[in-house]
Amino acid sequence: MPSAPSKLHSNFGIKTGYTGKAGRCLVASAVKNDIQLLSVVLGTRDHFKNSKVLLDYGFSNYKLVKAIEKSKCSNVVNVENGKEDKVFIQAKDDIFIPKAENEEMRLEMVIPNKIKAPILKNQQIGVAYVYINDKAVYSTPMIAKKDIKEKTLSDVIYDIFRIWLDINKHLSSLSNLSNKSALKLNPRITLDRG
């Protein structure tokens, strides 16, 4: 039986075992440079050595990157029938992922064009996805940053009154403009009968 190494890395936990079908097994977890990795080795003669090889590979080839920074992963969604026309949303969580140097990473937000009021602070309105090589690997909810109340009947009446005042103001401006234009185009002609 192979002996356990004195140290694999900063180990979080190890579970060894043996079954007739799987042979010697080892589940090991280690942390290095803020990255925690898990290795699972089945059916091998030197499960400690093979686990160390896997962990070394992971630590050598993957770096921890901030895939989503919640304060920068944000957008605005139109609000229907709300006391405010728009709601600011952002990612609920920062997301850190292990990423290999040669992997392509991109972010995609899936959010509606508009949402109906009322809206509660921290209500999920969409989802932000992290893609590695065109495969979605992580996601976090997109949440509302504040409450948006639904318009009341008095709000609707006020809006109608405001629109009516704006229309009258524009009609009055057009009427004054058309009277001035008429004066310029049709000057008064006086005849001298003398």
Supply the CATH number for residue 78's domain.
Answer: 2.60.410.10
Least confident range of 58-72, 127-141, 172-186: 172-186
Are residues 103 and 121 both part of a single domain?
A: yes
Q: Report the pLDDT averaged over residues 33-53.
A: 88
C-beta separation of 128 from 107 below 8 A: yes
Are residues 96 and 56 both part of a single domain?
A: no
Total domains, the chain: 3
Query: Which of 132, 139, 137 has its CA nearest to residue 93?
Result: 139
Kind and range of the H or E run holding 35 = strand 35-42
Quote the pLDDT of residue 22.
83
Whether the CA torsion 158, 163, 165, 166 is positive or negative: it is: positive
Tokens of 31: 């942390």
Choose the final residue of a domain: 110, 125, 144. 144
* Beta-carbon contacts of residue 90 (< 8 Å; ≥ 6 apart): 70, 71, 73, 74, 75, 142, 143, 145
Are residues 100 and 140 both part of a single domain?
A: yes
Quote the pLDDT of residue 150.
94
Are residues 74 and 58 both part of a single domain?
A: no
Measured distance CA(72)–CA(94) in Å, rounded: 10
**Whether pLDDT at 28 is above 80:** yes
Range of the domain at 91: 69-144
